[in-house]
Amino acid sequence: MLIRVDDLQGPEIASLLEVHLAHSRRHSPPQSIHALDLARLRAPEITFWTAWERTELLGCGALRQLSPASGELKSMHTAEHHRGRGVASAVLSHIIAEAKQRGYCAICLETGAMQGYRPSRELYRKFGFVPCDPFGDYKTDPNSIFMRLDLTKFAPLTWAP
């Protein structure tokens, strides 16, 4: 598996992100959808990575700089036929390593509170994310769960394919 910074220009990532947005629309009420489209993911404060196996896109994830000391995890998604293979764990490990290299003290995220987001919440808990208050521009929302990973105490998980 190769994880690389992506310029968000390829048709594969456009398709995967449309699936990601469709998942959000299916599981969240409109006012609680915080997934970003291609245009908003191209913001200069966001770095976007994709995971590949040869020419096949496996998954993606992004890190948005919130401040010089913190970031927000965005757009984590694994192609359906590659779930259960460790793609999300590999991408998340990569993003956490990058955040630590940048000198971040924490990574925050927002995810859905509904059943359709349960696998994501389990992944984040496995990596040490804990519930937190809304951050940035987010407001309290019964459809959202906010989580934070303290990178000053983070011990990386070992990922193997």
CATH code (residue 18): 3.40.630.30
Whether the pLDDT of residue 25 is over 90: the answer is: no
Average pLDDT over residues 35-64: 95
In a domain, 8, yes or no: yes
For residue 85, the enclosing domain spans: 2-150
pTM listed for this prediction = 0.90
Whether the pLDDT of residue 56 is over 60: the answer is: yes
pLDDT of residue 154: 62
If pLDDT is split at 50, 70 and 90, which confidence band does 78 have?
very high
Q: Concatenated DSSP letters for the chain?
A: -EEEE--S-SHHHHHHHHHHHHHHHHHS-GGG-----HHHHTSTTEEEEEEEETTEEEEEEEEEEEETTEEEEEEEEE-GGGTTSSHHHHHHHHHHHHHHHTT-SEEEEEEE-SGGGHHHHHHHHHTT-EE----TT----TTEEEEEEETTS--PPP---
- pLDDT, averaged across the chain: 91
In a domain, 158, yes or no: no
